[in-house]
Amino acid sequence: MSNAMKAAITCVGGYVPETKLTNFDLEKMVDTNDEWIRTRTGISERRILREPGKASSDMAVKAIEEILRKKNLDPLEIDCIICATVTPDMIFPATANIIGDKLGAKNAFGFDLGAACSGFLFALNTGAAFVETGKYKKVIVVGVDKMSSIIDYTDRATCIIFGDGAGAVLLEPNTEGNGVMDAILKSDGSGREYLHIKAGGSLKPASVESVMAREHFAFQDGQPVFKFAVKGMADVSAELLEKNNLTGDDIAWLVPHQANLRIIDATANRAGIPKEKVMINIHKYGNTTAATIPLCLWEWESQLKKGDNLILAAFGGGFTWGAAWVKWAY
């Protein structure tokens, strides 16, 4: 029986800035402490892009350049670049276009996709659909966020959580039965009141007043977000397994969005996946929004084996959430 063509991840690249922001650094900035942050989030430090004049595109370029090196690819071979981000370099043009220019990927079209912390998952499925049409052979999906650019470092509720980083994958056609096998993606815009940036969009354009009121920073109402995230991410992961007649035993790795250790634990428990099969790097990088899942794949790449079943799961602003079943291709 011939396998239908799937879109497979054939390479991974990642980048995190050198500058570390530790819990002890944050103790000096806001009323918090290391123990409080670790017990509630699992985070010890996060990376911050400090260099002036550097933006999300620069981190994305570094992650994609690693893929080009590892695969010995000419940037001209890239057909499409999909950039998942909530911290674009500018409102427009798309960060994907800036990335393409900096890479010299002159034959690629590109666009940004905004689904907050679920961005990479949504972009991966979008990229896979392009590959499955048969028209596109090499699609880059990059998740990147410079969260430090939208975080209020006087707000202890949010500044302890987020970090900067980028992770990218190359998608190519696969007929061996590996690749992006299935996904369940969901969104509910009524969740917008709990997690958003108030100003800077067409609803409330930037003004002296909006800046003075600190309305250009990420706002999060932690309790409802936590409650929705635990349920949403756990439910959709369990639903995806059930739909495909899979159990926790069939899964080599759970690759969860790194928002909070307690949300990760709840998702793993619900899916019946033991802790040793869960990718966790939140302690080092915090929540890098669209970059969390590909940064996990990047760190664990050497441990992944051809044919491994992976479950990718996320929850983010929107609300957006979802899970994807990926069979590893190399």
Q: What is the CA radius of gyration of the chain?
A: 19
Q: Could you confirm whether 125 is annotated as catalytic?
A: no
| Neighbouring residues of 140: CB distance < 8 A, sequence distance ≥ 6 | 64, 67, 78, 80, 81, 82, 105, 108, 127, 168, 169, 170, 171
**Look-up: residue for tokens 């990376």?**
47
DSSP 142: E
Active site residue: 117, 174, 260, 296, which one?
117
Virtual torsion, Cα 287, 301, 6, 61, nearest 10 deg: 60
Q: How many CB atoms lie within 10 A of CB 138?
A: 20
Cα gap 298→107, rounded to integer Å: 26
Q: Could you confirm whether 117 is annotated as catalytic?
A: yes
Kindly state the tokens that stand for 266.
């709840």
Q: How far is CA 200 from CA 90, 150, 216, 220, in A?
A: 11, 11, 6, 17
Active site residue: 97, 125, 260, 287, which one?
287
Q: Could you confirm whether 287 is annotated as catalytic?
A: yes
Active site residue: 80, 257, 260, 296, which one?
257
Closest CA to 219 of 200, 235, 247: 200
Helical (H) or strand (E) element with 69: helix 56-71
| Neighbouring residues of 183: CB distance < 8 A, sequence distance ≥ 6 | 121, 124, 125, 240, 322, 323, 324, 325
The residues annotated as belonging to the active site are 117, 257, 287
